[in-house]
Amino acid sequence: MRAMSTVTFDTLKFAKRLEAAGASAQLAEAMAEAQREAFSEALQGQLATKTDISDVKASVAEVRAELVLIRWILGTVLAVALANFAKQFF
């Protein structure tokens, strides 16, 4: 399950600024809450968590291990092919 991202947004400070600019207290509070919700929705699922990062690191480690195995296999196949080539012509 993916952890939900949190947004730090000072709704009280935002509402007080709106009030200082002439908005009613009720309007300022509603706008502050709407802004907090908008930020939360916009960032939902967009930020990587520590779990996401550790999952990616584990996947990268698996791919690296597979690449090492593939290198060994290719090296062995190449060595056998060269040995057969050399055996036929020398």
The token duo for 73 is 């296999």
- Angstrom CA distances, 33 to 8, 28, 43, 66, stand at 12, 9, 16, 50
Please say if the pLDDT value at position 7 is more than 80. no
> What's the pTM value of the predicted model, to 2 decimals?
0.44
Same domain, 27 and 68: no
Nearest alpha carbon to residue 45 among 4, 13, 75: 4
Same domain, 20 and 60: no
Cα angle 65-78-62, degrees, rounded to a multiple of 5: 10
Same domain, 41 and 53: no
Same domain, 58 and 79: yes
Average pLDDT, the chain: 87
Mean local confidence (pLDDT), 54-82: 95
Q: What radius of gyration do the chain's Cα atoms show?
A: 30
- Give the pLDDT band of residue 45 (cuts 50, 70, 90): low
- Give the pLDDT band of residue 70 (cuts 50, 70, 90): very high
Q: What percent of the chain has pLDDT over 70?
A: 90
Domain that includes residue 87, residue range: 48-90
